[in-house]
Homo-oligomer: A and B are copies of this chain.
């Protein structure tokens, strides 16, 4: 046992890491291109047969007239909000306080587009109709993230969504979907991506979350909206001469993983049950997952928990997480996201690992109550 290992190292060396599809390495690219003919022409600045085909595939999947590939969701979503803001002649947009644009993009929306976000709901729950009804006047666009990643991937009830959509249509407020993990929620809602998207005016999906591509995003909507987004894509520096390394691999992995979304969702439910068997030391948010993800909250400091997780990982071969995030002096959490790996997990070994973890947490708790 290497006592000097960090949690990240222990996780990466574990024979059975529980999260995601697999290691993010060059093999992901090589596998995707193995069957692609080398003579296939590159896309050229957003044009070309292979790109058109990809755009059509996603327009159809999302039930929108048009779709366009972007190098990143950061770029796609800022641009979507900018277009709706310009159309409405208002700089006001609304979203959740833990929206990606608010906390992960170095305030690009404000520095580049000078938009003025209004924060809805609080940091523990998703946006509800009541939040939307209480918005100030003049909001050009409301962004909803489904599932809301930073709170464990929570979702509003589908009827709540329909009511928000109906209200926005009535009021002329554009509704944009941050669907980074859109396909991952289709099993819980029991609706196709297309049905969910029909509630929204514009939609962004990521190609490297549940779909497991290398990087990139798709923006979809009406034809004119997508054409305008391409102009902004050029302005942002996202209209690369060749984007095929990303969208051809996205295409490859979408074909393989789209049919497995229900399996990932069920995996999340099963794994959350295992975590919740360690209550009260551990609890998951949501308690019963509504997508392929959830958060694990532990009533112990990052510094206390880290050596325990490293030891259990090294002794059992089961990788829980590569990183812990503190939520206070005496608690921390991490994100779990189910992908291909979960199907390979030896269940008896996993149960044993959870037993050991539970014992260690109990002992530690009794020592430092």
Contacts and interface: CB of A to CB of B under 8 A. Distances in A.
Nearest to A41: B25
Contacts of A29: 33, 244-245
Interface in A261-294: none
Interface stretch (A107-115, A120-128, A312-320): A107-115
A231 to B, nearest CB: 5
A27 B23 contact: no
Nearest to A75: B237
Contacts of A38: 25-27, 30
Interface stretch (A13-21, A66-74, A87-95, A359-367): A66-74
A210 to B, nearest CB: 14
Interface string A223-266: 00000000110111111111111101000000000000000000
A53 to B, nearest CB: 14
A171 interface: no
Contact of A235 (B24, B70, B108): B108
Nearest to A30: B38
Contact of A44 (B24, B39, B246): B24
Contacts of A75: 236-238
Given A78-B237, A108-B237, A248 B215 contact: no
Contacts of A241: 24, 208, 214-215
Contacts of A303: none
Contact of A215 (B28, B76, B232, B243): B243
A3 interface: no
A42 interface: yes
B26 A234 contact: no
A368 interface: no
29 contacts: A24-B41, A24-B242, A25-B39, A25-B41, A26-B36, A26-B37, A26-B39, A26-B40, A26-B248, A28-B42, A29-B244, A30-B36, A30-B38, A71-B71, A72-B238, A72-B240, A74-B236, A75-B238, A105-B234, A108-B234, A108-B237, A111-B235, A112-B112, A208-B241, A214-B242, A215-B242, A216-B240, A236-B238, A237-B238
